Structure formats: C-alpha cells, structure tokens
Amino acid sequence: MSLPKNSNVHKININGCKRDLSLFEVKPGLKIAVLNILGDVELVKVASNGLAKKLNNVNYDVLVTAEAKSIPLAYELSAVTGKPYVVLRKNYKSYMGDTIKAVSNSITTGKEQFLYLDEKDIDLISGAKVILIDDVISTGSTLKAMKEVMDKSNSEVVSSAAIFTEGEADKISDIICLGHLPLFYD
C-alpha cells in the first residue's frame, strides 16, 4: 500500500476498539504499522474475546506464545478460555533447566533470536494439542521457530492465532486472526 503524504499512522478497529498505529520504517522505503498491546488492557480484552470466539470449535489443550509483546494476549485468552498458556522465552536463564530451543529472525529487530521452552513446561506441552499465539504474524519466522520447539517437545500444533496478519502472512494457511495489516511503501 502506498502512503499518503504526511501519513504517520494506520487506523484499526477491532470490534469497536479503535487505535491509530504508528508507522515504523523497517528498511528504506518500507514501513509497518506497529501494534503494541503492552499496557492496552481494553484492546487486549477485545482481541482475546474475538479470538476466543474464533477458537471455540478448535480442539486444543494449551496456548503457546513467544516473549514478550503477546504475553498479555495469551494471559487474557487463557482467562477467557480456561486453557493454560506457556511462554517461550527469548533469553535462557539458568533456572530454566534443560530447555528446548529454536532460532527465528525477527522483522522488527532484523536479527537472529532464540526461543526457549522452560524445562518446567515440557510436561504440560508434551503430547498436547497446542495453538500458537502472537500479536502480529508477518513473515512467519517466529511461528516457524515456535513450531520447531513444539515438534521437539512432542506436541501437536493444531492452529495458529494472532490479532493481525501482516504483509504476505495472510497467505500462510490456518492462521486465525481478527484482521490484516498492510505493508506501507514510500
């Protein structure tokens, strides 16, 4: 999508919850609309309720998300659905024990990141049907790394869900979402 002159925001509306998302340049000539749900209780609640309705007919045991921006979404979705959630961490801490890990490349940081499943969560995940949760799914890199951790932990990914897909991610199959964010080109 081409940007109108002097446009610095992209407007969204999720079930009446409206926000202006700031545009951020990820590389020359390309901007993305930045969704930051941290601290936005109203948006998290509205998005969680919307996703819970879409997940109503999916058979799953556990919600899994990656640190950090989507943690409030996973928490609230867990509260609404009654399903437990697990957070894959981006940094290893010694108290996490013998972890399972995978690598991803983030569009926002532009560098390699690791995802770690804490040893204490392996029993909950092993053999479980899981839904991968993220705030925005763009390139699918984080999703791929999350799936790799789930494969290594002997769990079955039955679906993926996000508030929004972005860019070409709407072409990735079986992402349950509430909307789509375009990419913005100068």
Mean pLDDT, rounded, of the chain: 90
Is residue 4 one of the residues assigned to a domain? Answer: no
Rg from Cα positions in the chain: 16
Q: In what order do the strands lie in the sheet with 62-66?
A: 85-88, 62-66, 129-137, 156-166, 175-181
**Is 135 part of any domain?**
yes
Secondary structure letter of residue 57 according to DSSP:
T
What pLDDT does 167 receive? 82
Residue 26 lies in a domain: no
CB atoms within 10 A of CB 57: 6
Quote the CA–CA distance of 3 and 40 in Å, as a whole number: 26
Single pTM value for the model:
0.90
Residue 107 has pLDDT above 90, yes or no: no
Look up the CATH number of the domain holding residue 107. 3.40.50.2020
Determine, yes or no, domain membership for 19.
no
DSSP string, 109-165: T-SEEEEEE-GGGHHHHTT-EEEEEEEEESSSHHHHHHHHHHHHTT-EEEEEEEEEE
Degrees (nearest 5) of the Cα angle 152, 156, 161? 110
Quick check: is 6 in a domain? Answer: no
Cβ-proximal residues to 13 (8 Å cutoff; 6+ apart), any chain = none
Number of domains in the chain: 1
Report yes or no on 1 lying in a domain: no
Would you say residue 3 lies in a domain?
no
Q: Which domain holds residue 132?
A: 37-179
pLDDT digits (tens, 9 = 90+) for 59-71: 999 999 998 899 9
Q: How far apart are CA 78 and CA 132, in angstroms?
A: 12
pLDDT beyond 80 at 171: no
Does the structure show a pLDDT above 70 at 173?
Answer: no
Judge whether 88 and 62 are in contact, CB under 8 Å.
Answer: no
* Residue 64 in domain: yes
pLDDT digits over 8-47, tens only?
899 999 999 999 999 999 889 999 999 999 999 999 999 9
